[in-house]
Structure 1
Amino acid sequence: MTTGKNEHNIPVRSLGSEPEKPAGDAGLKTILDNLDAMVYVADFKTHELLYMNAFGYNILGDFQQGQKCWQVLQDADSPCSFCTNHLLLDSSGNATGVHVWEFQNTVNKRWYQCRDQAITWTDGRLVRLEIATDITDRKNMELALQSAQQRAEAASLQDELTQLNNRRAFFQLGGQFLKQAKRRNTPIAAIMFDLDHFKLINDTYGHEAGDAVLREVGRLLLAEVRESDIAARIGGEEFAVLLPESSQEHAMELAERLRNTLDGLKVRYKQTMLRPTASFGVAMLSPDDDRLESLLSRADEAMYLSKADGRNRVHLFPQF
């Protein structure tokens, strides 16, 4: 092993040497090298890496005299944007105590819980001491749990059959849209439609046939609406679309396009070709609407006008 001294007269080890013992204490070196955690020391001002124990050496390799901590630990070209040095000293340059945080190393992609603090080095200057414990297994379990929770939350807001928003999501998101529209004084249109004689399909061909129709309606609806719109299955065969910042003309145009596309839809179920139609109702947000239910109620009334008029039609709720 070859050793030398840097400009601060601190013993350092050269590339290829064994980890140097801190402060010349062989017993302390043995303890640090057997820790199941990475321990390193770096200069506050220059970021020069002054010490690293065997755990870190085995993971990241040896370092040369004068190398920066960000070069060895992160394989970076400049100081790390996430460096916590500024948290370890107060405005007077005094140590603030221990700062604990979690981080994914950019080199080996493993997660560490880092315990950072400013300490006085052997020559009297303040240096950064970090003890980094590998928490990858725990972190992976936490991330998997978060992902599962997010999927569960998404599933609770999605209709499994049609992949549309469900009723809960429609009213949750729609309520937010309504508040924004009232605050900004912008229009909102609502479209409601109901599949004609859907019970007859279920009674004649079975619920699997009805499910096949509903899936195709969901696919069609997702293809036709804008990303900013809220499309949902809010009942058995009942659907709704909320159109923020949309004019009456746009809403009527979309409703007629959906009606026409549905009218030409052919759903094959076993040896049968099913051809569903739907009745549509359109309504516009009124200045008096404080609840989404009021807007939907008018769209629902317009939809029943379409049913009463022979089905497979679009009606607009009368504007007075």
Structure 2
Amino acid sequence: MQEARFRDNFWSTDLTSTVGYDSIIQHLNDGRKNCKEFEDFLKERAIIEEKYGKELINLSKKKPCGQTELNTLKRSLDVFKQQIDNVGQGHIQLAQTLREEAKKMEEFREKQKLHRKKIELIMEAIHKTRNLQFKKTMEAKRLYEQRCRDKDEAEQAVHRNANMVTQKQQEKLFLKLAQTKSSLEDSDRSYQQSVTTLEKIREEWQKEHVKACEFFETQECERINYFRNALWLHVNQLSQDCVQNDEKYEEIRKSLELCSIEKDIDFFVNSRKTGSLAPAPVVYENYYNTQRNPTPVRSPAPMPISRRPPLPTPASASGEPDYATVDGYSLIHH
């Protein structure tokens, strides 16, 4: 199958038409617009990645997450928060990479625009020259055709009035015929010169048009290739970011594999233990028995409670108060 080329497919039968050239230029402008849109997409994605990265870093540093855990699980949580911080840093780095790629796209786009401008200026100038010469040629043709009609009318007048007019009138008719023939010859030469000049301009324009088509086709191939590679690279960067993030998450998984329930329990017990003796049983104490024997008996086996014998009745001397006892209590009588 024959490859389609710009130089073979963007012509018009109208010499002054630029429909083919305009179609190419429109396509190239659309291509530049598409590159700009992708460039803006990368910039917006960079903003999102940077914001997400900063939010992750703030989250890992400021938000409590198992801060009172101990031993191996604490170490796993420390690894977890550190790796989340690293993931955030990775997104910030990705944002910077995307900005650099957007800058490269912008430079490529502007470089193509600059090179295209040179060709466009050449084509604009030759289009203007071609159209102006075509207009002059058509005017010369119109004048030439008018002079032909004038000469034909003058010849017809001479033949038509050959035997009907005076000698002087015939001389006027012949003079007019001679003048029209002279004007015809001048207009014919001018018309032929214009056609010759137009043909030279047409050939020059045609060569420049072919060169422009080839240049624009080369640029479009470069643009598509660059755009495709930029997309490919962008996707690879996103994939690489995912791989790197998974490596960070793998560090968390590895730390969790070292997390030991038994070690954490032992660590907690040994570092926070408060004693191995439980409190003694609380025994029943009779209020009245406690009053009679203020020293509590701690023996688990109940001991028989001895009763104190009654105190002897003291002898009262004369003038002293009388004493008496009631159930072991002394009373003073006045």
Tell me the TM-score range normalised by the shorter chain: under 0.3
Structure with larger Rg: 2
Name the TM-score, length of structure 2 as normaliser: 0.17
Between Structure 1 and Structure 2, the one with more strand by share is: 1
Q: Which has the higher contact order (CA 8 A, sep 6+)?
A: 2
Name the TM-score, length of structure 1 as normaliser: 0.17
